[in-house]
Structure 1
């Protein structure tokens, strides 16, 4: 069921009433389940919240690398980004996201190395490694957001600013 507050720039989670943890997420004009595995008391019907966060990093990394490779005219045929998460004991930060990136195409070692550098500059990577803030408000489903294309604008700004700050033109 679509909600009048559904927009491309926000996600809405709503309990389904099925199982203890199953939530339907409405975001980007689509709906999907988030859940916990059966071993944790869920139905196992969708990714858990950390898998969703890892998915955001994987998607943003892949999109940023595609944007950069296309801008450079490099022969990148396929980009795949896998992200895993684990909690570490002791020091800070306690959450570790491990990202594995593979490229196919006739790339030089220098191009591959440069793409790995660019991966660290994707907007979601920057959000996870910087000091993000979360404001919580009761009884409101329409958070204030930067706009429907905020992520794309962040990636394009990264490329534009990067030409000066990160020497993307090499």
Structure 2
């Protein structure tokens, strides 16, 4: 059976909804840090260790046909022992068992998969990604790719190069008002602000810079422009 991915999503201040296939759990911190709507992450870790211990002992006894009537497991954290404290696990085996069977089950209780992982200090590899709130999540195939301008997704820890001064197409860093743009165009055309168009009429329309965006500016018709729909291209 393939392992299911455990998903954790926010559901409150510190409350978290944990999804494991069709199952849902809640994790939180007690008051006053959290709202105490679920077990703490440490308690969930201890619960996993206790459950794994109980299941391992039960399966071992069943495979050998031993008369195991029940098993109780209590797990807690003992603080003050070592830099991170110590996990204490109490296991009670119930059944009409001989000394050899009890000894064997006690050994098995210390070698459940979760306890082996904790004792071996299994490394945890973390991959962190970041995206803008309005950007869609990136597909796993693109994870770790270089950041793209405008993509909204910036992988942390991956190759990311930011170039200053890069201007995306169609975006102007200097947004001038219509009046300021019109005054600049009039100066280029040799026309003053008093409406004297003699210079412009003599020289003709100004030449557009190569590669500059072409836009149409509509202005009110004057005595020299009999048509009301006069358009010019700066």
* Fold shared per TM-score above 0.5: yes
Aligned residues: 132
Which structure is higher in RCO with an 8 Å CA cutoff and minimum separation 6?
1
- Cα distance in structure 2, aligned partners of 1:96 and 1:123: 18
Point out the structure with the larger helix share. Answer: 1
4+ aligned runs moved over 6 Å, structure 1? 140-143
Cα RMSD of the aligned pairs, angstroms, is 2.4
Corresponding residue number in structure 2 for 1:96: 86
Whichever of the two has the greater Rg, that structure is 2
* TM-score, normalised with respect to structure 1: 0.69
What secondary structure sits across from 2:37 in the alignment? coil
**One of 58, 69, 72 as aligned partner of 1:77:** 69
Corresponding residue number in structure 1 for 2:103: 113
State the Cα deviation string for residues 66-99 of structure 1 (Å, max 9, x = none): 111011111011122111123335x45x231111
| Pairs within 5 Å for 1:7-156 | 9-16=4-11, 18=12, 20-39=13-32, 41-88=33-80, 91-92=82-83, 94-139=84-129
Gaps of 5+ in 1: 1-6, 144-170
Gaps of 5+ in 2: 130-136, 141-234
* TM-score, normalised with respect to structure 2: 0.51
Alpha-carbon distance change, 104 to 87 in structure 1, aligned in 2, over 3 angstroms? same
- Cα distance in structure 1, aligned partners of 2:38 and 2:118: 22
